[in-house]
Structure formats: C-alpha cells, structure tokens
Amino acid sequence: MSYKYKNLNITKISVVGAGQIGPDIALHFAKSLSGSGVKIVVIDISPDALDKAKNKVHKKIQKGLESGAFKPDQAQMIQDSLIFTSDYDAVKWSQIVIEAATEDENIKDKIFRQVETLTDSECIYLSNSSHMQPEVIFRNIKNKSRCLVAHYFFPAEINPIVELVPGADTADSVLNLMLGFYEAIGKVPIKVKSSYGYAIDPIFEGICQTAILCLEKGWGNEKEIDAAAVKALGLGVGPFTALNLTGGNPITAHGLDEMGKLLMPWFKTPEALKVKTQKKEPWETAKRGEVEMQYFASLPPGTEEKLVKEFQGAFFALASHILNIGIVDINDLNMACEMALVIRPPFSFMNKLGLDKSYELVKNFCTSHTTFPFPEILEKVKNEGAWKLKDIVVSQKDHVLILTIRRPKVLNALNLEVLEQIKSELKKAKNEEEIKAVVITGFGTKAFVSGADITMLASLKTPEEGYHNSHTFQTILNYIENYPKPVVCAMNGFAFGGGNELAMACTTRISKKGLAVLVCQPEVNLGFIAGAGGTQRLPRIVGIEKAAEILRTAKNVSAKEALEIGLVYKEVEGDLIDEAIKLANQIASGEVKIKTISQEPLKSNGTPKPLEIGHLSKKIDEILVKAIYEGSRLNLKEGLDLESRMFGECLTTDDMKIGLENFKTNGPKSKANFIHK
C-alpha cells in the first residue's frame, strides 16, 4: 500500500529528531497517512529521546482514543505505523525526509549529508527550522532542487499552518508539489521567500520582545503583561505563557539577536530573556484556571491602556515590516498569523480599527523605538484607506480561471465579501479571450463550503434585512448562473447550505468520489430556510419531491446519491481540479453539452406530500413548504423573489432565534428546542 498524490507515491516518511517537535510532526503524518499503509520512521541518536518521544506520541493517541477522536482500530493503525529507531539505515527508501533537530546549522548539515548517502535523488528533503534559511541548511547537498524548509507551529500535529520556504535552487515543481501535498493531508501551507525567521516568527518573537521590554520598564509583571497582550491582540495565551508552553526561551533568545543582524536592528535579545535562558527558568505566568484579566486591578492608572497601545503598535509595525520586505503574500500572512499564533489577523484588524488609528499606533511605536524603521507600505496603504484582502486564491491553467475559496478556519464558509470577490474576478475575466471557462472550488479536502457565515446570519434583525440579505446573495449567484462562459464547480468536500446553493448556480458540478456526505441544506436545523436559491434551483435540478425531502429534513446526500439524482455530473477518483479543467474546456468547445436549469415554472400540482420532520420547527416548515411549492408555479426569477420574502419571514419567528442561539451555544449537533412559533 502507498499514498499517492500527483507524481508522489509515498510508502515511507522519515522524521529525524525526537525532541520537542519531531514526534508531533510524525504523529500528524501517521494520522493522515497510516490508512494508506505509509510507515513513519522517527530517528534519533539518543535512546532516551526516542523513549520519551514514543511515550509522548502514544499518550496523545490514547487521549484521542478516550476522547472519541479515534476509533480503536484507527488508533491501533496510527500507532503501528510509527517506528522509533536510532538506526539511520531506516531512512532508506523514504520518499520524504524531514529534519526536526536542534536549531544548529552544523547539526542540520551533518544530518542531511548523512541522509543523502542513504536516499535516492528523488527523495524530498524538508527542514523544520524555525529561522535558518534553506541556503544555509542545505549548503552541502548536491541536488538542492528537492530541498526546502517546512516550518511547523506548536503543536505540530494540530496547528494547521506550515511555512514552506524554498531556497535559491529549489525547483518550482517541488515547491508546488509540497504545497499541494500539505493541503491534501489537512495542513494550510503558505509560501514564504527565503529570509531569516521567515514570515511568522519575527512577528511572534517581536511580540515576545515587546512583552519583555515592558517587563524591564516596570510596566507590570508577567501575568499583567500577558493579560494586556491577550486583550490587545486577541491572543489565545499571552507571550510569556506561549514561551513557557513551547520551551521557546532559548530559541527566541538566539533568534532575536540574529534577526537584529539580518532583518533590522530593533530585534535584540532583552537581558531578562538572557537570564531566564541561562538559568533555564520559566516565566511567572497564570496557572491553569486563573483569570488573567484579574491582574489589571493592581496596575497604576493608565498603565493598562499604555500596554494595549504598545502591543497593538508593535503587532501592526511587525506585520507591516514583514509585508514591506516582500517575502509573503498579504492574504497568506493575514491568515497564517491568525491560525498559527491564535491572534487577530493583523491586516483585517487594522482595517476594522481604521487605518488612521492603526497608522498612529505604529507611528508612536516607531518614534519610541528609534531602531524600528516606519514601514513604507503602511504610508501608501493609509492613503488608499484600507488593506486590500481576499478570501479567494486566483490561478489559471489551460485557459481556465480557477477560483479557490480559502477560509480554512471556518471551513470556507460564505459571506457576501467572498461572493463579491468571486463576482469581481469573473467580471475581470469576462472579456479576456484567453480565459475560456472557470472552475470554482474550495481549499482543503474536508469542505467545499461549509455554509453561510453564521455570524452574518445572526446579525439580521428584521424581515427587511432578511429579504435584502437573501436577495443580495441571489443577485451574485444569478450572475454566476448567467455567466457567458462555463463555470464548473469542483466539490472537493462537503457543500452545506450556501455552499450547495453556490454549486447549483454553476453550469455543472463534479465531486470527489466516495464522499459519504457531499450535500446538505441544514438551515431548518437552525430555524430558517435556504435563502440563496436553494428552494428554487434544487427542485429544478432533482425534482420537487426529492428537493423537498432534502430541504425539509436537512438530510445528508452522499456523492453517490448526488450523482444518481442528477445533482452532480460525475464523481472523480483522480485529480479533481484537473478533471474540472478538462470538463470546463469540453463544455466551452461544445464537445460536452450540459442541461441548464429551467427558468420556467415547473409542472407540479403544488401539493406537498406528508413528511416526518421530527423535532424540527413546524412554523419554519410551513414557510419552507410555501417557498418550494408556490415557487414551483412561478418562473425562476419570481420564485427567487418569493424565497427572499419567505427568508425574511423567518426573522419574525421565535424559532429562528431559538435555532441560531442553540447553534452558537451548543454547536451544530445539538437539537434546538423549537416551540413552533
């Protein structure tokens, strides 16, 4: 058995280094690939380190088993796929070797020179360095085209972000292969140009430096400063706590001084950090269960506000500086900061706060930190009024425009901004002769689109707001439906609610083969109805009765059933995007004919069949039945307007409030206690 991704055929991956992060990297590979029979080898010269690594991984697997994250056979399969050894010969026949050793260029060089004697020329070499440039790490490797940094974040088996950093000689084909491979195994990779510390660590370590400088100035103790950082930046934990959790004092102490030499002189290891590193002492932080905010009570008047401004100024300055040096895309950096560091996304945060205020915070920070140059890019953006951000990735292949919805934190959930971005890209491509067709897909392997953004829906208060929201969504989907070039939806994972409604607006749909759950219209679980065309397009694609069953019961539809009822054109076993591109070109050339959705009224007696809806709201079902069956007697345009009015009517019910509140409080699996009013 093996795991196949494009031209990769993986039977073995070796992780060299059984210290802090190597075992977690190995565990993620095992969770993702053990089902395909891939062996994950963890190698270290220290038997003690191997024993600790093995125990650590086995405890995490056991915890996953006890929590229900793993079934017993799955847990056993993951555990059996892992091999812990001090024998470097175990590296032989690996397709990927990732080094996770000490942050020492000579040790890393020695490891890869040894690995090179044991592997073939096709083996891909990755280094989980947190700072060093690939040109330094791989300086003595003969074939540098297959070498790059893959920088994981704590905890590596859970944190989705991986920075992929190619060296000067790294082949584009290898980089692109690794970007796709990491996405396929559940990570969120971003591409970063070679630079000391890459894109994320200078921001994290810069925030840590800011915290320690505040401590040295006497602006508070570790607990108070941690609390201020959490409040200022929306951090999951404060910087001192993060340093303790990751064992990050030594690497941060080294990294800051190196960044001071290679990036800008502001970076410098504070004396307090040097002392903690030398003494191997942790910081004095809040214990589990303590409420950090209680420490503000002891601060002198004005100090809390001063700390918040200092952290925000530092954060915005650091993020702008990284963007200014041109090593990473703004959308990648914005997303990766939020997910890797559990922090507010910096550029979205600045937009929300206002560019004038953000600019002032950075200006004041740079004025008081004279070795931190004011980022020129912020000056330019201030004049433009906002950072321009996108939640879609735009690419092109074989005359086809590919639009990938990328909001991994919310499984690509839709909001109006995302749809407007799609519409904007379609408008640009409309008159471009080299673009013959379009493919719309989602990032990752789990979800095409998980539905509409619940925060957006929960903000609606009146029937008029509901009507306007529904109508606005419909207007954009109508644009997609009537686009003069074929639009193929490549459903890489499940499509819930608005995701399925987006898919149905496309010319046709294809899906990954074998998905147990491809489509669901779950709106009735939350106390409202589909409002982006679902009550009108679904009946015109699969028939009224089948559509009514799907819409009224929120039943799951597998890829197999979706094919049988005509909701998708085909299931795909191989590369979904390549197949979508091929089909899009075939439709554009006329080689393949696709039946379009009827714009006319459907032939129906308009009488709903009795249907068991269980605990679901009878009031919402009444509104939904009206939308489906009365809409079937109207043309599509009139039916969509009826749907918008019925969606607005949901906001007059108690059950919509109950459903949304239950979802926010208890999650999607909890049944709401509807009162049918």
Rounded Cα distance between 143 and 389, Å, is 37
Q: Residue 269, class by beta-carbon neighbours within 10 Å (0-12 exposed, 13-18 middle, 19+ buried)?
A: buried
Q: Name the residues annotated as catalytic.
A: 501, 523
Torsion on CA atoms 529, 533, 535, 536, rounded to nearest 10: 160
Rounded Cα distance between 414 and 423, Å, is 13
Taking the alpha carbons of 491, 493, 499, 504 in that order, is the dihedral positive or negative? positive
Q: Helix, strand, coil % (nearest 5) of the chain?
A: 50, 15, 35
End-to-end C-alpha distance for the chain, whole angstroms: 56
Residue 44 has what DSSP assignment?
-
Report long-range pairs for 353-360 (Cβ below 8 Å, ≥24 apart).
353/312, 355/381, 355/382, 355/385, 355/386, 355/387, 356/382, 358/312, 358/316
Taking the alpha carbons of 477, 478, 479, 484 in that order, is the dihedral positive or negative? positive
List the beta bridge partners of residue 97: 14, 125
∠ CA 549-554-559 to the nearest 5 degrees? Answer: 85
Rounded Cα distance between 616 and 154, Å, is 41
Torsion on CA atoms 25, 26, 30, 33, rounded to nearest 10: 70
Rounded Cα distance between 608 and 626, Å, is 9
List the beta bridge partners of residue 511: 491, 571
At 601 the three-state DSSP class reads coil
∠ CA 370-373-379 to the nearest 5 degrees? Answer: 130
Rounded Cα distance between 306 and 296, Å, is 12
The dihedrals phi and psi of 611, each to the nearest 5 degrees, come to -145, 130
